[in-house]
Chain A
Amino acid sequence: MSELVLTVNPIACDAHGVCASLLPELVARDPWGYPLIAPGPVPAELAEHARRAVASCPTLALRLARVDRAGGSG
């Protein structure tokens, strides 16, 4: 059983905040504008929104990865 996990590369992230505006259910912003991603997998009904948020990130910092629930990515 695999699931989608949303992560952000903190070095590439520049606090544009587009992800938070496109996916407010899963992404909030900290006091300096950087994303706070809700822990846990991305629910299936939000997968398309998550993909759109990943494509819209101006610095390509947001990533969506498919991980196996059993092992994880290491």
Chain B
Amino acid sequence: MTGAAAAGLARGPLGASVAHPGPGAIVVTSSTPLWYLTRATGVVALVLLTIGMALGLLIAVRFEGRAWPRFITIGLHRNMSLLALAFTAAHVLTTITDNFVPIDLQDAFVPFISPYRPFWLGLGAIAFDLLIALTVTSLVRARLGHRSWRLVHWTAYLCWPVAVLHGLGTGTDTRTRWVLLVTIACVAAVACLLGWRLAQGWPAHLGVRVAGAIALVAALAAGGAWVVTGPLRPGWTGRLGLPAAGPSQLGRDTRGAAGHPGVFRPGHSRPAPAAASPAAPTRIPA
């Protein structure tokens, strides 16, 4: 690690840098580019997924303009969703490849079995699975038939919020201002379009619409309250069993590498490696 010697960091058991900003707190940072890629692709995937979701809602409300015929919305929705899948796959790939954290291939597809932040990562796995299902069924839509395709496509209303929660709950960058603003903008855009979708065709299916509207408002309120009291509070990642802090806390001594959330703290959620060789990173059995 390049910055290790200059910042007075020692080498840790997994070949990463371990910083000691003070007694009682162990911070592990990694300046591998994979770590940046994971976060970057995650944010981009969320934005693309939001755009795909927004375009899907525009299809549902039959948005149309003189210079914007229906088939543009449909074509863009398809392409943006495919791009979202591509970036989500990249996000997953970089996370798996970054073997500083014990996230493996199965954790990306099977939720809640990861030893690392099982719940928040599990949400990501759910969103990823749903996104794959949405994509595959849409590609074979003609063969599948409209009814079955529609049934699976309704899960988009689950996939997007789960992805947002995954990002808020597990993302290191939740407290970074611009990422937070992007997330809020995504949520606002989808919320507005959801409101439009619920209002259109009023008053047919009144019960479902009212229930949906109530659910939307409740979800926004609950989500907002949770974010403010949870991830936005300092030490959120600590409460997850990890002492890592954002760059604002570490100051400048980590040479641009932000706090790495994949910190192993002895005595916490996972057992220590039985025999760890200093050179080769190993996967800790769950």
Contacts and interface: CB of A to CB of B under 8 A. Distances in A.
A35 to B, nearest CB: 13
Contacts of B59: 58
Majority-rule SS of B interface residues: helix
B202 interface: no
A18 B71 contact: yes
A36 interface: no
A56 B142 contact: no
B20 interface: no
A58 to B, nearest CB: 7
B141 interface: yes
Given A58-B59, A60-B141, A16 B70 contact: yes
Contact of A56 (B62, B64, B74, B149): B74
Interface string A1-35: 00000000000100011100110000000000000
A12 B74 CA distance: 18
A17 B70 contact: yes
Nearest to B70: A18
Interface residues of B, number: 13
B146 interface: yes
Nearest to B74: A56
Contacts of B71: 18, 21-22, 56
Contact of A60 (B64, B69, B75, B145): B145
A47 interface: no
Interface string B47-79: 000000000000100101000011100110000
A53 to B, nearest CB: 8
A12 B146 CA distance: 9
Nearest to A18: B70
Contact of B142 (A16, A17, A58, A60): A60
A55 interface: yes
Interface in B112-171: 141-142, 145-146, 149
Nearest to B141: A60
Nearest to A15: B62
A50 to B, nearest CB: 13
Contact of B74 (A18, A59, A60): A18
A21 B146 contact: no
24 contacts: A12-B146, A16-B62, A16-B70, A17-B62, A17-B64, A17-B70, A18-B70, A18-B71, A18-B74, A21-B69, A21-B70, A22-B71, A54-B142, A55-B142, A56-B71, A56-B75, A58-B59, A58-B74, A59-B146, A60-B141, A60-B142, A60-B145, A60-B146, A60-B149
Closest 5 CB pairs of A and B: A21-B69, A60-B146, A18-B70, A22-B71, A18-B71
Interface of A: 12, 16-18, 21-22, 54-56, 58-60
